[in-house]
Chains A and B, each alone.
Chain A
Amino acid sequence: MEKFQKLTGIAAPMPLVNIDTDMIIPKVFLKSIQRTGFGVNLFDEMRYNRDGTEIEDFVLNKPQYRNTEILVAGDNFGCGSSREHAPWAIADFGIKCVVSTSFADIFFNNCFKNGILPIVLPQETVDLLMSDAEKGENARMTVDLEAQEITTSDGEVIKFDVDPHRKHCLLEGLDDIGQTMQKEASIDAFEATANASRPWV
């Protein structure tokens, strides 16, 4: 997995609440058996007309937001399906950090598996970042994972929380499976005990 350490980039505002996984990547694009190539269809139905031309006033189509790396979004971002194609599409587009007041649980988990940092902040802080993001290219925020700080384009510093284990994995770009396999003895032991006490499983 790609490491996430410190990022300075353009932030785009998407204030709509309940942006669901079907909006992030409609199911017609889930048919690939690869992990890459989904970025072009990120937010497909909001981003393109039926004939494939771009919808001009969609935020990521505006010239100043084409290279967005940070998304500031409305509440309950990523609700709906467990499809990891949603974070794959976000990462493939080039977005590495999403800020909101809350995220759907499975989506939140999936982000960390793909080098994306989801940050939860209180409403008033998200509102502040949303206004900052509205400045377009002039809104280059910095997200520093090590320090757990976002610095706005005005230099205001905002602290955020992140789970220590997940922070460590993102900073180092660690693969979960490899780490879990180091605990194989614990799994073997658990399995032996469980097989004895619940043999029908």
Chain B
Amino acid sequence: MSPKTLYDKIWDAHVAHEAEDGTCLLYIDRHLVHEVTSPQAFEGLRMTGRKVRAPEKTIAVPDHNVPTTLDRAKGIENKESRIQVEALDKNAKEFGVHYYPVSDVRQGIVHIVGPEQGWTLPGMTVVCGDSHTATHGAFGALAHGIGTSEVEHVLATQTLIQKKSKNMKVEITGKLNPGVTAKDITLAVIGETGTAGGTGYVIEYTGEAIRSLSMEGRMTVCNMAIEGGARAGLIAPDETTFNYVKGRPHAPKGGQFEQALEYWKTLFTDEGAVFDKTITLKGEDIQPVVTWGTSPEDVLPITGVVPNPEDFEGGKVEAARRSIEYMGLTPGQKLTDIEIDTVFIGSCTNGRIEDFRAVAEVVKGKKIKDGMRAMIVPGSGLVRAQAEEEGLADIFKEAGFEWRLAGCSMCLAMNPDQLSEGERCAATSNRNFEGRQGYKGRTHLVSPAMAAAAALTGKLTDIRDLL
């Protein structure tokens, strides 16, 4: 048998039907659902009299529209947001899928809830009507975002019409220097490949620096595979993965765990398997990074300066000029001179316990800058509970941060957490698009530690200066 990549193996194990032209029906093991991209899909089922084929493999949780303020039990003020969440309440009940409503302590961002509850397991296919489904690839699961028509297709048939992508390897060798995190790795990779560099590929992240990451860090890396254009990101499961999964509510137990483990240990890229494209970065070369523009590929080390649009080529010249104007920056300006109004720490990229530990380490016993608006939003109710138990929440509150309830919050401004016009934010989220965090809002993507540092100094700050 010819050697296979990890992606080849998972793909082959899920092809339920293959047409002559190579179009496949890929069987889906887990379908995650949230309130924004599902109402039209459930409505489609109702209109055609179809059922959800595998409700036991379908997990729904509201996250995008949910307010994160402590008074949210009083309900959602915005009528349209409320209608979307109510539609999910109704659809989950009517179609009999697993559901974590807003009132449930396990509620949170769908990509944090899935792994936390043990729904996401190695070797699975996982889809969700959300591009950041790539997150689940950290477990060695083939996971990607789909549109609403495909959500309906998976609900009805538990399959997805797919053609196989190409294989790409992203290797991060060696060790990371102090102050450099999983977020810096994933941003540095996008800086290298561009936001279209992964188009048509599934990326497998390998190398010592990836192996050394915790599951939380691996999820951060895979989460942003989509920002590099890739269909999915994957990391082969290992002891770190197995230890994380074991004992989770929906992970296999006892003898079945052992049986699963035996299978999971076969999930790696065979020696000699061919990748269509390979990119290698040295872990030692990666620095703490920050985005300066309105595309995740606009990445530079924090020691850099705002670039000149003329330094780019082709259509990127105009895009860079537009970005710099939108962001209110000047070419040549030092990134560490950029003053910040707001700090947002959270999202499916960096809303997990390890992210909050990193923040606590930076801000412990200190105060955020006067006038700074700074919020920390846990990725799930359980992350919030754990942070409180570990005393992190007290550190945040003493430093001057708002400590919120779980949800997508300011990552995408579909809920009350938004930037106002011209407001500049250091964010641990995943997109710095125009208007992403609010109309004319300005976003600089950073790691949790760098966001914490910016909250203290009021400027984009090299975390290494505070270590």
Which residues from chain A sit less than 8 Å from chain B, CB to CB? 15-18, 20, 22-23, 26-28, 30-35, 45, 50, 74-76, 79-84, 87, 102-106, 109-110, 113-114, 123, 163-165, 176-177, 180-181, 183-184, 186-187, 189-191, 194, 198-201
Contacts and interface: CB of A to CB of B under 8 A. Distances in A.
Contacts of A165: 19, 21, 23
Contact of B16 (A75, A163, A190): A190
A177 B25 contact: no
Nearest to A15: B315
A103 B84 CA distance: 29
B199 A106 contact: no
Given A180-B157, A201-B124, A18 B25 contact: no
A80 B433 contact: yes
A52 to B, nearest CB: 13
Nearest to A20: B433
A80 B431 contact: yes
18 contacts: A22-B433, A22-B435, A26-B435, A30-B414, A31-B36, A31-B414, A50-B421, A76-B196, A76-B229, A83-B36, A105-B230, A106-B145, A110-B149, A110-B150, A163-B163, A177-B156, A194-B27, A200-B252
Given A26-B435, A26-B439, 4 more contacts: A31-B84, A106-B144, A183-B25, A187-B158
Contacts of A15: 315, 318
B277 interface: no
A105 B83 CA distance: 30
B36, B78, B316: most-surrounded residue (chain A CB, <10 A): B36
B163 A181 contact: no
A32 B79 CA distance: 10
B95 to A, nearest CB: 15
Contacts of B314: 17, 75, 123
Contact of B149 (A26, A84, A102, A201): A84
Contacts of A113: 147, 149-150
A182 to B, nearest CB: 10
A104 B39 contact: no
Contact of A177 (B153, B263, B319, B413): B153
Interface residues of B, number: 80
B322 A16 contact: yes
Contacts, number: 190
A22 B436 contact: yes
A4 B24 CA distance: 23
Contacts of A79: 195-196, 229, 295
Contacts of A181: 156-157
Given A79-B196, A113-B147, A165-B23, A177 B50 contact: yes
A16 B295 CA distance: 12
A-B interface, 10 closest residue pairs, ranked by CB to CB distance from nearest: A200-B252, A31-B80, A113-B149, A190-B16, A82-B145, A33-B39, A17-B315, A110-B147, A84-B147, A76-B196
B241 to A, nearest CB: 15
A186 B158 CA distance: 12
A181 B159 CA distance: 10
Contact of B315 (A75, A80, A83, A180): A75
A109 B16 CA distance: 20
A109 B149 CA distance: 10
A187 B25 contact: yes
Contacts of A81: 130-131, 145
Contact of A16 (B145, B196, B318, B431): B318
Contacts of B153: 176-177, 180
A45 B25 contact: no
A30 B131 contact: no
A173 B158 CA distance: 22
B266 to A, nearest CB: 12
Given A33-B39, A180-B25, A104 B16 contact: no
Nearest to B228: A79
Contacts of A31: 36, 65, 78, 80-81, 83-84, 414
B284 to A, nearest CB: 30
Contacts of B259: 199-200
B108 to A, nearest CB: 19
A77 to B, nearest CB: 10
B230 to A, nearest CB: 8
Contacts of A34: 40
B104 interface: no
A30 B150 CA distance: 17
B27 A190 contact: yes
A17 B81 contact: no
Nearest to A45: B435
Interface in B261-293: 263
Contact of A105 (B15, B39, B148, B231): B231
B115 interface: no
A187 B199 contact: no
